[in-house]
Chain A
Amino acid sequence: MNLIKITLITVAALSAVGCANITVPAPQPTMANVNAAKQLTESVKLGSFKLAAGLSAGTDQSISVRGSNTLNAPSGQSFSTYLRDVLATELRSANKLDDASTISITGELTKSELDAGMSVGTGTVGARFVVTRTDGVCLDKELTATAQWESSFMAAVAVPAAFNRYTALYPELAGKLLKDADFQQRCKTKQ
């Protein structure tokens, strides 16, 4: 199945039932993030990723635009664990993921917003990352990735664009952590 077919299916779904309901695709490594991860002095491991307190549970399962057009977290997972998968994909591709590492990253999804306006679309994904070493917390920081793009009055155009842009915020957020100077400097055990 290819790109156009996906679009056609989406359009057909929109025509048939008036809404699209799709699942976020599997993470793919990005060259910029892998290059950033390669600069880490040592490997890290990933701990639990969950939804921040105070947010509704539904925030972690799906996000909707233009009515019932919904982007779902992967089956059996959540957007917070999707963020973990994205980070794991980048680290693994850089050979910097090691379950035996003494440096551990945990995360909380703090923001998940998407708007497919008639002319402008906006999206935000935020997370609080806590990084620990054997001697305690070396980083506790909230990072945010935002995007703004040209939207359309046509739902069949605006909805896929919004879903694509929202999905792209996850590797962008992972990249913000990997490139964070505080993370790189404070969270290493070797000099």
Chain B
Amino acid sequence: MIRSNHRPLHLAALSVLAVASTMLTGCASFYVDNGLRAADTAQVTKPAAPKPVQLFFGFQTKGGANALATQQLKGQVTELVKQSGLFSEVKETAGPDTGTLQLTINNVALSDDAISKGVMTGLTLGLAGSTVGDGYVCDLQYKQSDSSPKIEAKANHAIYTSIGASSGPEAAATKMASIDEAVTTMVRQAVKTLLVKLSNNPQFQSAP
């Protein structure tokens, strides 16, 4: 069964279709939306005196916690936060003078409604024929201390799968060599986008 464009579909169903298609025709191509591509070359603004932070990461599917995906992706997310240089240390436990950073990636259906509201990026381009997509709503929340104001940032991303011999969404997305690369690219660009936004926030830079 091949679904048409703009139909709500989440990752598992998308993967089912991809596998089914692969079994039948031997090909499924994966694309990452171009909307956050600039994150790969963007630079964070490091604070003068970085503080330690306790990191929380959660992957969700339609707003519900997805523990298996969280476990699989937490290592990559932790490394990205460490590499950013925004914090002196990324910790597992609470402590004095330790802020809290929560990163959430929520896998949502790319519904007509979401697109019409402009929630997602680049999704009105390229989706045709047997191409399906998954959206990722990414949130960051940071607090320097329990009594500090919360700093928030948001970003949206998407992965498309083009099934069979039809052309993919090249106008709006970049083709990946594998589904592994698609997911790691999506996570990297989303998290880096959020960290750049955090680093550009005057409240973050002015924290004592």
Contact = CB atoms under 8 A, between A and B. Distances in A.
Interface of A: 1-8, 10-12, 15, 22, 24-31, 34-35, 38, 92-95, 147, 149-150, 152, 154, 156-157, 160-161, 163-165, 167-168, 171
Interface residues of B, number: 40
B93 A164 contact: no
Interface stretch (B12-20, B44-52, B110-118): B12-20
A165 B94 CA distance: 27
Given A3-B68, A15-B19, A93-B93, 10 more contacts: A7-B16, A8-B18, A11-B19, A28-B57, A28-B74, A34-B94, A150-B62, A161-B62, A161-B64, A167-B65
A6 B68 contact: yes
13 contacts: A1-B72, A2-B72, A3-B11, A4-B11, A7-B12, A12-B19, A28-B57, A28-B67, A29-B56, A35-B146, A156-B12, A157-B10, A164-B66
Interface string B1-43: 0000000001111011011000100000000000000000000
A26 B72 CA distance: 10
A66 B33 CA distance: 35
B19, B58, B180: most-surrounded residue (chain A CB, <10 A): B19
Contact of B70 (A5, A28, A154, A163): A28
B90 to A, nearest CB: 13
A122 to B, nearest CB: 13
B180 A156 contact: no
A7 B18 CA distance: 11
A22 B54 CA distance: 30
A1 B71 CA distance: 10
Interface in B70-86: 70-74
A153 to B, nearest CB: 11
Contacts of B16: 7, 11, 154, 156-157
A1 B157 CA distance: 20
Contact of B69 (A3, A35, A152): A3
B56 A168 contact: no
Closest 4 CB pairs of A and B: A168-B65, A7-B15, A3-B69, A31-B56
Interface string B170-192: 00000000011011100000000
B15 A26 contact: no
A25 B68 contact: yes
A154 B15 CA distance: 12
A168 B93 contact: no
A27 to B, nearest CB: 8
A154 B13 contact: yes
A25 B67 contact: yes
Contact of A30 (B11, B58, B74, B184): B58
Contacts of B54: 34, 93
Nearest to B95: A95
A165 B61 CA distance: 9
Contacts of A34: 54, 56, 94
A95 B94 contact: yes
B100 interface: yes
Given A2-B180, A30-B56, A161-B61, A95 B67 contact: no
A7 B11 contact: yes
